[in-house]
């Protein structure tokens, strides 16, 4: 299928050229270590933990060493490192996801340019050896609290790899002071063609969704995103499906009222995400989310089992610190950058 996977159409020569240029600029003291070098698994975990702690002070992955070791041992996490002398100075990884896609991430750079090179090397390895989509959670945070901005990652993912931005989500927290940061969920795969997205008939809610989620994701659909109006009076029940690294609430016929699910979610996480198929039956659920302060963030890279686009709505727990954002000029279409800024304002209590 023509729109199934975009990496085949990417400018691989450009990626190779950037890798060559960055490699030439690298100090002769720096050694690149790839998965083929078979570094012991415990050393890989230790180095990644050291790097993440050095960059972010506190990071979710560093708290789950056993899980990290399992992912490395199973091959679900394949790591690239840069070494200078006897210490690691950078990292990047390919991490297999449950939907079959592969995430390029875990990027740390203690010296300028190293992290970007490692991300490109990891992405190039994927391009040469796999047909699955490449995805990324792209930081769009500004420098804050001693943690560098996400500008370098934006350049790699949007300019060099050509990933499609699909949702802006303050999903992850780290640093000191501990704060949430805004990430753009992105994929090499366009959202597949399928059924229309049904939005509530309420005018104010519809306009909010069009300004935020639809504006954010419209360019990332494999065909035109058809928008229709729907109205349902069906009462919905909910359950907390996950609590790490953030809470996820989903519809569940045997679940509880939405307010109860939110209380449970916020007892474990600062951020709560609701992925909701934009079907006629779910327009009541969309309205319920909006009425309780959830922000439309965009659409998921996968449709639901019935073929409807999956709307992503998020909520920060009251009092949560959110780092400022900074989008590199020119890496995104102006309307997408404007949508990200609008979503960010909504999370800060603006309009």
Both tokens of 49, joined, read: 């933990």
Which is it for strands 87-96 and 102-109: parallel, antiparallel or unpaired?
Answer: antiparallel
pLDDT at residue 178, as a whole number: 84
Query: 64-68, 242-246, 271-275, 343-347: which has the minimum mean pLDDT?
Result: 64-68
Q: What is the residue extent of each domain of the chain?
A: 12-132, 136-351
Contacts of 235 (CB under 8 A, 6+ apart): 284
Quick count: other Cβ atoms within 10 Å of Cβ 217?
Answer: 29
Which is it for strands 30-33 and 179-187: parallel, antiparallel or unpaired?
Answer: unpaired
Burial class (CB in 10 A: 0-12, 13-18, 19+), 236: buried
Which pTM value belongs to this model? 0.93
The CATH architecture annotation of domain 12-132 reads 3-Layer(aba) Sandwich (3.40)
Confidence of residue 5 (pLDDT cuts 50, 70, 90): very low
pLDDT digits over 290-312, tens only? 999 999 999 999 999 999 999 99
pLDDT at residue 314, as a whole number: 98
Provide the edge-to-edge strand list for the sheet that holds 87-96: 30-33, 77-84, 87-96, 102-109, 134-139, 179-187, 164-174, 295-299, 310-316, 271-277, 247-251, 238-242
pLDDT at residue 230, as a whole number: 85
**CA–CA distance, 76 with 73 (Å, rounded to integer):** 8
Beta strand spans in 110-242 (E): 134-139, 164-174, 179-187, 197-200, 227-230, 238-242
């Amino acid at each position: 299928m023509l729109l199934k996977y975009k990496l085949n159409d990417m400018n691989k020569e450009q990626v190779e050229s950037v890798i060559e240029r960055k490699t030439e600029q690298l100090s002769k003291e720096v050694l690149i270590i790839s998965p083929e070098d078979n570094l012991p698994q415990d050393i890989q975990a230790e180095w990644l933990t050291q790097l993440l702690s050095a960059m972010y002070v506190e990071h979710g992955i560093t708290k789950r060493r056993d899980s990290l070791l399992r992912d490395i041992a199973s091959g679900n996490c394949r790591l690239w490192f840069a070494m200078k002398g006897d210490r690691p100075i950078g990292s990047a990884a390919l991490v297999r996801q449950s939907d079959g896609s592969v995430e390029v991430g875990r990027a740390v750079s203690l010296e300028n340019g190293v992290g970007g090179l490692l991300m490109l090397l990891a992405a190039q390895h994927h391009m040469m050896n796999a047909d699955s989509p490449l995805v990324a959670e792209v930081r769009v945070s500004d420098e804050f609290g001693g943690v560098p901005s996400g500008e370098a990652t934006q350049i790699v993912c949007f300019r060099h790899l050509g990933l499609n931005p699909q949702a802006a989500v303050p999903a992850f927290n780290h640093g000191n002071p501990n704060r949430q940061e805004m990430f753009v969920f992105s994929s090499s795969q366009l959202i597949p063609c399928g059924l229309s997205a049904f939005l509530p008939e309420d005018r104010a809610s519809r306009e909010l969704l069009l300004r935020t989620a639809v504006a954010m994701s419209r360019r990332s659909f494999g065909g035109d995103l058809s928008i229709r109006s729907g109205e349902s009076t069906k009462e919905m029940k909910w359950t907390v499906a996950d609590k790490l690294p953030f809470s996820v609430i989903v519809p569940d016929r045997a679940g509880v009222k939405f307010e109860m699910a939110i209380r449970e979610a916020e007892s474990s996480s600062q951020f709560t995400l609701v992925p909701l198929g934009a079907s006629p039956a779910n327009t009541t659920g969309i309205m319920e989310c909006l009425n309780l302060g959830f922000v439309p963030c965009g659409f998921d890279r996968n449709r639901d089992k019935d073929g409807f686009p999956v709307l992503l709505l998020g909520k920060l727990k009251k009092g949560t610190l959110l780092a400022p954002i900074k989008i590199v000029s020119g890496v995104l279409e102006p309307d997408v950058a404007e949508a990200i800024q609008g979503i960010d304002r909504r999370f800060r209590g603006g309009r």
